[in-house]
């Protein structure tokens, strides 16, 4: 990497947890008096509305899109130890939060990917957006990982990337360019896409 880096669907809901991004902060729904439901819950919605929302979730991953340069992680004062990305062939950056249900499903898959591909040049960096560090630490005690986890305490990186739902992830190539982007996590479907995309980039 030349520059320092800078989807278990159900029949009733898409596996993306989305909340309003207000005042430059991602709110913790557990602390809201009347937390808004994520728009991926479709009780009473028409089928057309459902399909429209689902399409938007699967096709969008923040403001960044394939071909864009990923922001330099070192510029955002992230909590934790950032690894040297210049030696990685592929970097997977995943934005997550402790209150995100699909994130609990994605962590074991990322751990599996880390163990399978790390020796071939894959680097995984999970960026937490919790307002409170203890919330992140409690999540990690239940969802152990051996890949890198950092925290965007000031939420400047998540703002820069235009993240609109959790989890959102990007696969970045050796030149620091976004090659693939995912919003949400859909179990085996997403895992298969990760594997295929990583294999493509490691060739």
Query: Alpha helix (H) ranges present in the chain?
Result: 47-59, 101-117, 133-142, 156-161, 188-202
- Rounded-to-integer distance, Cα 175 and Cα 80, Å: 24
Amino acid 8: pLDDT = 34
Is residue 50 within 8 Å of residue 29, measured between CB atoms?
no
Please report whether residue 123 resides in a domain: yes
Please report whether residue 70 resides in a domain: yes
Amino acid 186: pLDDT = 95
Identify the CATH number of the domain in which residue 87 sits: 3.40.30.10
Q: What are phi and psi of 148, to 5 degrees?
A: -75, 135
Please report whether residue 146 resides in a domain: yes
Amino acid 63: pLDDT = 80
∠ CA 63-164-177, nearest 5°, is 35
Give the pTM: 0.74
Residues taking part in catalysis: 100, 103
Please enumerate in sequence order all residues whose Cβ is within 8 A of that of 128, keeping only pairs 6 or more positions apart, or say none: 96, 97, 98, 136, 149, 150, 151, 152
Amino acid 39: pLDDT = 29
- Rounded-to-integer distance, Cα 196 and Cα 164, Å: 25
Domain with 142 in it: 65-202
Amino acid 14: pLDDT = 42
Please report whether residue 136 resides in a domain: yes
Say how many domains are in the chain: 1
Please report whether residue 6 resides in a domain: no
Please report whether residue 179 resides in a domain: yes
Please report whether residue 159 resides in a domain: yes
Question: What's the number of CA atoms in the CB half-sphere (13 Å) around residue 118?
Answer: 12
Please identify every stretch of the chain with a pLDDT value under 70, giving residue numbers as ranges.
1-62
- Rounded-to-integer distance, Cα 49 and Cα 57, Å: 12
Please report whether residue 112 resides in a domain: yes
């Amino acid at each position: 990497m030349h520059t320092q880096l800078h989807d278990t669907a159900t029949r009733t809901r898409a596996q993306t947890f989305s909340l309003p991004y207000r005042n430059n902060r991602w709110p913790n729904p557990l602390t809201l008096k009347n937390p808004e439901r994520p728009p991926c819950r479709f009780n009473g919605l028409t089928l057309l509305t459902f399909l429209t929302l689902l399409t938007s979730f699967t096709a969008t991953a923040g403001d960044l899109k394939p071909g864009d340069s990923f922001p330099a992680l070192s510029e955002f004062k992230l909590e934790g130890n950032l690894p040297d990305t210049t030696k990685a062939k592929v970097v997977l950056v995943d934005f997550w939060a402790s209150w995100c249900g699909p994130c609990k499903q994605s962590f074991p898959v990322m751990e599996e990917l880390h163990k399978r591909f790390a020796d071939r040049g894959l680097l995984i960096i999970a960026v937490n957006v919790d307002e409170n560090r203890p919330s992140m630490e409690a999540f990690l005690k239940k969802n152990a990982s051996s890949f890198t986890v950092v925290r965007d305490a000031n939420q400047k990186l998540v703002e820069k990337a235009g993240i609109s739902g959790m989890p959102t992830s990007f696969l970045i190539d050796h030149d620091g360019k976004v090659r693939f982007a995912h919003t949400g996590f859909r179990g085996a479907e997403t895992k298969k896409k990760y594997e295929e995309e990583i294999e493509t980039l490691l060739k």
